[in-house]
Structure 1
């Protein structure tokens, strides 16, 4: 995270949310920024507890007003409904006042689960996420919007993700400069993202990452959007992991280059029933 960032965090478990929030809030305090947190599913006490357990005493920052931990009801829904334009205005004011008050920047994070309630104006959340980009772009300010992937649908997650210029990435399962393997999301579904090249030097890393992904519930998705190269040994690993899945589960290899899809067909790996390969979408 840096100044100007407005990122989407789609998390699949409580520990993941806790790690990101703790790191983001504590870093802001350390950097001398003003930090605001809008809780919803969690309570303000939960968030402050995360900081304390991580060795960060939130007391001094709370006392001076550098840290504000409140709720969605008191911020997004302060008027009893959600007004996208009013909230954008509020954030602009907070950025301006934080810098005028001598802070080195402003950062904010909000839990967005309130939008799943029957709240007037919640249908404008996507519009708000797009509008608020201008609040942070080029400013000494940043934001993380949190979406619980267990509560929002795949379609909703995909839509909100597209409203943000970027997303918070999980810690890579492997990263050696040639290949990065990291938990991610693809069209709202949890996925293993493959970035770089898979060859004889990195096939073992792909196999280990797939084994980790097998512990996730449901089908497994492997996002090949940023794949640069994969050899037959790498494709064989995908096929073998798919063949080993319990009945009813599938391994979806998505966004694979069309030529590599043809290779999979030529060598017969497409005959593995649990292996589903989707070619990369053509770009205009």
Structure 2
């Protein structure tokens, strides 16, 4: 697990809720509009801007910016703009690793600050998640964790680009739902929606958790287990159903967390209450709140 310091956001920084956004689009015009608005805003603010491409040629990114009247070439020369391939950066080596990526964000923001930039903003193309990339199954875990472990602590703004032409709609809906801010095409509410809590470390689960959503439950459990905060909460207030297998997955995650603080579960379904009654030892791993 990457351990990062617990620090409060400095006064005047934009709220973390608005600095990590999903951006869903379905054509090149929308892609260019989002790209140019994001990059222009960062350059105007004196931030460093990085674009991590997957299927897009980096030269095409620079041409789109230039065509929109942005002096991208000069920004690259002075080190304020960098367009690179995800395969050569955070997907290099053994593949995608949420812990490593969280650590990389801390390093990248520190480097941008050392170079005199007022912050860092980045775009990442997420189409690689639909391919057989090592660690792609951990993307949802990462999207859930970064709100508290990165954006609440760093002067970083990031937009995750989801191209509907390259990703299944159901996949896009779940991943976009893990962001607290959404831009672009509307997305449907998935059967099981998991998102970070805005006011404390933890996650809100709403909808129904069953056989068809087992991969989403597994990602939520991994986020619970990997979260660096000493106390984490699962809010089940809007959860309609939680089957036995999903319950077992989340209980295992609670037991696997480091430290002595139990996982807080808010308004758990009756099935979880019965489990805690049948197995009192789980009480040391889970603390029910909001009865």
Map residues 3-18 of structure 1 onto 2, 5 A cutoff: 4=16, 5-18=19-32
Structure in which a larger fraction of residues adopt strand: 1
Computed over aligned residues only, the root mean square deviation of the Cα atoms, in angstroms, reads: 1.9
Task: Quote the residue 1:106 is aligned against.
Answer: 120
Task: Quote the residue 1:155 is aligned against.
Answer: 170
Task: Quote the residue 1:27 is aligned against.
Answer: 41
SS at match of 1:123: helix
Question: Bigger radius of gyration, 1 or 2?
Answer: 1
1:39 deviates by 0.7
Identify which of 31, 39, 43 aligns with 2:57. Answer: 43
Contact 2:62 2:73 in 1 (8 A): no
Identify which of 134, 139, 150 aligns with 1:135. Answer: 150
Q: How many residues align?
A: 175
1:145 deviates by 0.3
Alpha carbons of structure 1 residues 78 and 3: separation in structure 2 relative to 1, 3 Å: farther
Runs of 4+ with deviation above 6 angstroms = none
Equivalent-residue separation in structure 2 for 1:125 and 1:138 (angstroms): 20
Task: Quote the residue 2:285 is aligned against.
Answer: none
Contact 2:176 2:187 in 1 (8 A): no
User: Are 2:80 and 1:66 equivalent residues in the alignment?
Assistant: yes
1:3 deviates by 6.4
Equivalent-residue separation in structure 1 for 2:73 and 2:88 (angstroms): 21
1:184 deviates by 2.1
Q: Deviations over 1:164-194 (max 9, x none)?
A: 11111x4xxxxxxxxxxxx522237xxxxxx
Contact 1:22 1:51 in 2 (8 A): yes
1:122 deviates by 0.7
Task: Quote the residue 1:146 is aligned against.
Answer: 161
Contact 1:110 1:146 in 2 (8 A): yes
1:57 deviates by 1.2
SS at match of 2:186: strand
Map residues 265-280 of structure 1 onto 2, 5 A cutoff: none
Task: Quote the residue 2:135 is aligned against.
Answer: 121
Identify which of 109, 112, 116 aligns with 1:95. Answer: 109
Q: TM-score, normalised by structure 1?
A: 0.58
1:96 deviates by 1.9
Contact 1:3 1:141 in 2 (8 A): no
User: Are 2:180 and 1:165 equivalent residues in the alignment?
Assistant: yes
1:138 deviates by 5.0
Task: Quote the residue 1:185 is aligned against.
Answer: 187
Q: Deviations over 1:93-143 (max 9, x none)?
A: 111221232211110001011111111111001011112223122532100
Specify every segment of 5 or more residues in structure 2 that has no aligned partner in the other structure, as ranges.
Answer: 1-13, 191-291
Identify which of 89, 98, 104 aligns with 1:75. Answer: 89
Q: TM-score, normalised by structure 2?
A: 0.57
